[in-house]
Amino acid sequence: MRALFLIDGEHYPPVVIDAMQSVRQSLQAEGVAAAFLGGTEKIKDGTDYGVPLVEDTDPVSAVQKALAEYEVDVVVDLSDEPVIGYRERMRIASLVLYAGARYLGSDFELKPPELRPVSTKPSLAVIGTGKRVGKTAISGYLARLLAREGFDPGVVSMGRGGPEHPEVIEGHRMEVGSEYLLEALGRGAHAASDYYETAALSRVTTVGCRRCGGGLAGEPFVSNVLEGAEIANGLDTRVTLFDGSGAAMPPVRVERRVLVAGANQDPEYIVGFLGTYRLLLSDVLLLTMSEEPMASPEKVGGLIRAVHKIRPDLVVIPTVFRPRPVGKVEGMRVGYVSTAPPAVLDTLSGHLEEHYGCEVVASSGNLSDRKRLAEDLRGMSGVEAYLTEIKAAAVDVVTRRGSAEEKPVFYCDNDPVGENLDQALLRLAQQAVANKMP
């Protein structure tokens, strides 16, 4: 095992050298180098640590430089405050995990997610920096785009409400509508799970999978995604798109990766903590909700600059979501139900009226709060139909209510809008296909 040691000059060299020797013995590790992270209080010029010493003006840059120069299996952090603080350590952790090494300290250990090479087809993944950033909407949009451009995609969807065993829904061959979802609900399925949403709205073959838990770097605690990937290998599709869940990543190796973050998030969730690791792994970053009142132009610009300090080459596309009914709602008085914050409901309702010819007589953003949603629905007088996203209580509350009232229920997708979005996504797909070719 090849070890890279992180040291600083706040520690007396003989103590550090003894610690390095102890680590070598306990890990049966060969010390290949040490990254010197700064501080000079207790060292003299020319101090010999017994391994090559890598230095840089910035502690994080020193680690990055050492990882580029040496192939290592484990990085052992013998540094401490005041040279290295919490933020710096998380940035270092991201670099170490991206290099495929373990990151070990006195009371912690992080290891990179195990991304298994199970997909036999060109593959992409859509991952997120958290929940409610629009990741599933991006996956569905990408699936439709790839289908339209002749890539014949299949989707492997991972969700916390997925099935015990991977389930295939041939969205292009069946009408996945309200009756279908109510019947699935009657079987005990979570009919608003991401894979139902993707099959119903994108009309592509979708393999539904489940996961539980998610590590700091994104590995699920348990999942049946590997089984789902094997099933996808046997489908009549040409490209496989893996859809993550929250901040958890599908545990598979892919050719290209899209990262979805919300511009309304705390910036540290994107460029700090192990958001940095996700930035390093990804090929395109989509900043959703990049509009007032969700995020000011100043915040969006600041996020882009912060991202480019970490990944100057990363393509970043600010986007906004706009609702798209799957069905004809022109001339109808509708009650619109979504997970959108109250601050943007009027904008989304106005978009529906302008572009799809319906009249939104009432709206609710409480799709994830069943109690408040039920109150909102009771107050929706005069509606002729319900228009809802397939999320949370869309089936067991909204669709059931529509059925009981004998009113149609239309499902609604959220399309991302951003400059050069389609070109960037298609370029990734083309690269994935080219990279997979023998």
Q: Quick one: three-class SS letters along 216-257?
A: CCCCCCEECHHHHHHHHHCCCCCEEEEECECCECCCECCCEE
Contact by Cβ (8 Å): 152, 238: yes
Q: What pLDDT does 189 receive?
A: 63
- Cα-atom radius of gyration of the chain, to the nearest Å? 25
In a domain, 372, yes or no: yes
Please name the residue ranges forming H helices in 357-420: 370-378, 400-404
Whichever domain contains 346, its CATH number is: 3.40.50.2300
The residue among 61, 80, 110 that closes a domain is: 110
Domain of residue 430 covers: 123-319+418-436
pLDDT given at position 186: 66
Rounded CA separation 90/125 (Å): 24
Same domain, 96 and 13: yes
Residue 65: alpha-carbon gap to chain centroid = 28
CA–chain centroid gap for 88, Å, is 23
300 and 372 inside one domain: no
C-alpha 203: how far from its chain's center? 22
Instruction: Judge contact between 303 and 287, C-beta under 8 A.
Output: yes
148 and 106, same structural domain? no
The owner of tokens 């009756």 is 179
Contact indicator for 154, 204 with CB cutoff of 8 Å: yes
Domain presence at residue 118: no
Are residue 90 and residue 22 in the same domain, yes or no?
yes
For residues 102 and 138, state if they share a domain: no
User: 98 and 221 share a domain?
Assistant: no
Same domain, yes or no: 189 and 284: yes
**What three-state secondary structure class fits 83?**
coil
In tens digits, what is the pLDDT along the chain, a chain of 438 residues? 999 999 988 888 889 999 999 999 999 999 999 999 987 665 666 678 899 999 998 999 999 999 999 999 999 999 988 888 999 999 999 999 999 999 999 999 999 999 999 999 999 999 999 988 999 999 999 999 999 999 999 999 998 888 899 999 987 776 656 666 667 666 666 555 678 778 877 889 999 999 999 999 999 999 999 999 999 999 999 999 999 999 999 999 999 999 999 999 999 999 999 999 999 999 999 999 999 899 999 999 999 999 999 999 999 999 999 999 988 999 999 999 998 888 889 999 999 999 999 999 999 999 888 899 999 999 898 899 999 988 777 778 888 888 889 999 998 889 999 999 999 999 999 999 999 876
- Check whether residue 350 and residue 365 sit in a common domain: yes
Q: How many residues can be counted in the chain?
A: 438
Which of 110, 132, 159 is the last residue before a domain boundary? 110
Name the residue among 345, 302, 289 with its Cα closest to residue 135. 289
- What is the spatial distance between Cα 75 and Cα 378, in angstroms, rounded to a whole number? 58
- Distance, CA of 155 to CA of 140 (rounded, Å): 9
Number of domains in the chain: 3
The pLDDT value recorded for residue 175 is: 67
Report how far apart, in Å, the C-alpha atoms of 340 and of each of 32, 155, 194, 345, 391 are: 52, 25, 17, 6, 11
Burial status of residue 424 (CB atoms within 10 A of its CB: 0-12, 13-18, 19 or more): middle
**Do 37 and 138 fall into the same domain?**
no
Note whether 35 and 99 are same-domain residues: yes
Shared-domain flag, residues 136 and 282 = yes
In the prediction, which pLDDT does 48 show?
85
CA distance 91 to 233: 36
Q: Which residues pair with 285 in a beta bridge?
A: 259, 316
Are 259 and 145 part of one and the same domain? yes
User: Cα separation of 395 and 191, whole Å?
Assistant: 6
- Read off the CATH number of the domain in which 103 is found: 3.40.50
Using a CB cutoff of 8 Å and minimum separation of 24, what contacts does 209-212 make?
209/156, 209/157, 209/158, 209/159, 209/162, 209/163, 209/166, 210/158, 210/159, 210/160, 210/161, 210/162, 210/163, 210/164, 211/158, 211/159, 211/160, 211/162, 211/245, 211/248, 212/160
Which residues are within 8 A (CB) of 346 and not within 5 positions of it... i.e. 6 or more apart? 363
